[in-house]
Amino acid sequence: MQTRRIGNAEVPAIGLGCMNLSHAYGTPPDTETATALLHKAFDLGVRHFDTAALYGFGANETLVGEAIKPFRQQVHLASKCAMTGVEGVRVIDGRPETLTRTLDEALTRLQTDHIDLYYLHRWDKNVPIEDSVGALSRAVEDGKIGAIGLSEVSAATLRKAHAVHPIAAVQTEYSLWTRNAEIAVLQACKELDTSFVAFSPVARGFLTGAVTDPAAFAAKDIRRNMPRFQEPHFSSNQRWLNEFADLAKTENCSMAQLSLAWLLSRDDHVLPIPGTTSIAHLEDNLAAAEITLSAEVIGKLDELINQTTVSGPRYPEATQAEIDTEEFA
């Protein structure tokens, strides 16, 4: 697989988002099944594994830490702080003392003495970004983390943080149907030599064609509360999905592969991290790195799926208020 740089590491261009092995999309797989998928990802060449304290309220870090222990030194391990579970409730807390405690807890769960890339999962708007990044910079000095990342921040916040300590990566939702990064932060990352890690690169499954009935989502599936999976937005977005499927057939690839190949074409500092609980889907996703799209196909995709053709905001109002990413007018 082609490689791209993140921090001081060179990793295969497509990594693995580990969230749905423990969190967010209904009942997660059992430990044996999840571990088998993580091992298969390594066997297939994945070296960038992404987890967080929030996922399963620590359960995902525990899962990943145990699974990758045999090859820990061969992988680039990323995790996140500042959004965690406290007594079963999701809390955003970016105070330096909280970040320090969360990091120590993460190191224990991950069974490692350092985390290669540690993100602020969300900027706590009650705490200056400089204070939160300052705490993480001290963790870099102590050797507990290798590099600092930010998630769901604007270009302005990125620049403020970068003035305190170099920011190795920004992680934000980015796909054909979520283009907010193109407003400013993608370019800011390029200017600051910061990698851009794209989560939900296949639109939480929508761009694979697998989501046909949101009513069938599990009770705890977070997509139930996302406007794009609710009416009238869901039906509106399905109107262009068939044409997208036809384009994938023309390119002799799956819809997921077409989505990921488009992302890889954006720039060489963009690294998608699709997540899955299926080894078949894992294999399909990773094969996208071998696909090269023509300028004509990229142009068709940009015209078909963009901020003007996609219906509905990506988050409900309460969640939207928690993020700092730029929004289209």
Look at residue 159 and give its three-state secondary structure: helix
Residue 86 clears pLDDT 90, i.e. is over it: no
pLDDT score of 87: 79
Task: Give me the sign of the Cα torsion angle 78, 184, 163, 152.
Answer: negative
Residue 65 clears pLDDT 90, i.e. is over it: yes
Residue 159 clears pLDDT 90, i.e. is over it: yes
Residue 58 clears pLDDT 90, i.e. is over it: yes
Cα gap 209→8, rounded to integer Å:
36
Domain-by-domain residue ranges, the chain? 3-211+267-291
pLDDT score of 85: 85
Cα gap 228→200, rounded to integer Å:
14
Mean pLDDT over 14-24 rounds to 96
Cα gap 177→313, rounded to integer Å:
10
What lies within 8 Å, CB to CB, of 202 at 6+ separation is 175, 208, 255, 256, 259, 260, 274, 285
Cα gap 238→281, rounded to integer Å:
22
Q: Does domain 3-211+267-291 bear CATH number 3.30.70.20? A: no
Cα gap 148→200, rounded to integer Å:
21
Cis check: omega of the bond before 232, within 30 degrees of 0: yes
Residue 143 clears pLDDT 90, i.e. is over it: yes
Q: Name the residue with higher pLDDT: 219 or 165.
A: 165
Furthest-apart CA atoms within the chain: distance in Å:
54
Q: How confident is the model at residue 152 (pLDDT cuts 50, 70, 90)?
A: very high
- Whole-model pTM: value is 0.96
Tokens (6 digits) for 147: 């590099």
CB 79: neighbour CB atoms within 10 A? 31
Q: How far is CA 178 from CA 21, 141, 312, in A?
A: 23, 36, 11
Residue of 55, 118, 119, 315 with catalytic role: 55
Cα gap 325→329, rounded to integer Å:
13
Residue 161 buriedness (CB in 10 A; 0-12 / 13-18 / 19+): buried
pLDDT score of 88: 80
Residue 55 annotated to the active site: yes
Mean of per-residue pLDDT scores for the chain: 97
Percentage of the chain beyond pLDDT 70 is 100
Cα gap 269→292, rounded to integer Å:
16
Q: How confident is the model at residue 64 (pLDDT cuts 50, 70, 90)?
A: very high
Q: How confident is the model at residue 252 (pLDDT cuts 50, 70, 90)?
A: very high
